[in-house]
Amino acid sequence: MRLIKATLKNTLAHTGALTNTSGQLIPADGTSTKPAYSFGSEPTLGLQRTAAGVMSVVGGTLKGTRTVGEVAMFLKEPPSLGKTTTDTGKDWLELNGATYNVTDYPALATFLGVSSGIFTLDDMYTSGRFPRSRTATTAARTAQADTVGPHTHPDVTPTTAAETQEHTHTFSGTTGAMNANAAHTHSIGSGANLLQAGGGNPGITGSAALGVTQISAVTNATNIDHGHTFSGTTAGRSASHNHTVTVSTPANTGTTETRPVALSFVFAVKT
């Protein structure tokens, strides 16, 4: 019996006790260092029952459960993440623009359509790109720069109807008071010029002067302060005219990006 047991253990590479149920050999649950099912060349790699209805791979990873080329978002770096060209044998490669050898990741290279040499992954890390769906005019893996689409800034104080129609402006007012108190004279002229014979004055004949040497008079000053009123209407204003509107740009919030509320993830592709 001991020989049979030893033979079974060596054949099945099983480390736990075997029980017989309905004619089948059923192993124990196993542990993280001694899985229930393991391999002769790597006894710590295998399957373990970790909870009711839960079977886990211990000592390594299980291939084929995720599709090669699938992109996933992680809240933190997964245990097997490649980030540089020298990384090999990783389950995930971060989308950070790194270049890898086809021989190191042949399945992913085939998925990307690269048969030999090297391939470069897309870069979402350097500038913190946002993912988006492909469209009829934008193919998958197309990297796009920042852009601002066409838009308008409406005037918050639009022009009123009165400002866009033909119109005039009336004006009126009164000047300041004018003081006319200063006395002044008006010179009439000399007698020789006014009353000499032949001087052109009616009723004067002969050539002798009349003996008048100077005649002058002083007018009376009108002692009244007075002003002048004025009024009028401007010419019409053509309805075809412009108003300059200045639109101010609010201050930014301390960043160089325009973005919605966001949460950052680790973007990685399955190898």
- Are β-strands 81-82 and 92-94 bridged in parallel, bridged antiparallel, or unpaired? parallel
- Short-list 208, 185, 188, CA closest to 196: 208
SS3 at position 30: strand
Q: How far is CA 4 from the centre of its chain?
A: 76
Please tell me whether the overall predicted TM-score, pTM, comes out greater than 0.85 for this model: no
- The pair of structure tokens assigned to 79 is 């245990």
Length of the chain: 271
Element (H, E) at 19: strand 18-21
Contact 266, 77 (CB under 8 A): yes
Task: Give the pLDDT confidence of 196-235 residue by residue, as tens digits.
Answer: 444 454 454 554 544 545 555 555 555 567 777 888 888 8
SS3 at position 109: helix
SS3 at position 201: coil
Per-chain mean pLDDT for the chain = 77
- Domain residue spans in the chain? 2-58, 63-130+264-271
Contact 67, 91 (CB under 8 A): no
Range of lowest pLDDT (169-183, 213-227, 254-268): 213-227
